[in-house]
Amino acid sequence: MSTELPEVVLKESVNWTNITFKGRGFAWVNHPENRAMIKARHDEREALLATAPAVYEAGWTTNSSAWVSVRLELADPEEVFELLEEGWRMTATKRAIKELDEARGQ
């Protein structure tokens, strides 16, 4: 899913996959627990926690982002991709975002 986004680099290990834009992480997948931690906006995370608490849990928070933990076996794959894209957009360069939008005709 995440490899559909431009300049995504996956850093694989036995238990984890770090999903990055040119080395800057915006998501991690914990394979043994089948969970992902995805960078999100504060308002987006709060909405997810309110609407699907069995699927989403609060992760760590910074001034600019609020990470969300996702139980992948319960999550809608399309919603997970939307979260990944939003996390990518929060991390990627303006040039990369513009190129993606132009490629999509936006």
pLDDT digit string, tens, across residues 19-50:
999 989 999 999 999 999 999 999 999 999 99
What pLDDT is recorded for position 57?
A: 96
Does 105 map to a domain? no
Output the pLDDT for position 5: 87
Domain count for the chain? 1
> pLDDT value at position 1?
52
* Residue 86 tokens, joined: 């939003």
Q: Is residue 106 part of a domain?
A: no
* Torsion-angle region of 22 (φ positive above 0: left; ψ -120 to 50: alpha; else: beta): left
Q: Is the residue at 18 inside a domain?
A: yes
Query: What's the pLDDT tens digit per position in 54-105?
Result: 999 999 998 999 999 999 999 999 999 999 999 999 999 999 999 999 988 8
Q: Looking at the domain assignment, is residue 81 inside a domain?
A: yes
CATH at residue 18: 3.90.1150.30
- Report if residue 31 sits inside a domain: yes
Q: Which DSSP string do the residues of 18-39 spell out, in sequence order?
A: EEEETTEEEEEEETTTTEEEE-
22: in domain: yes
Q: pTM for the full model?
A: 0.91
The packing angle between helices 77-91 and 42-51, to 10°, is 160
Q: Is residue 83 part of a domain?
A: yes
Looking at residue 61, its amino acid is: T
Q: Domain span at residue 16?
A: 2-96
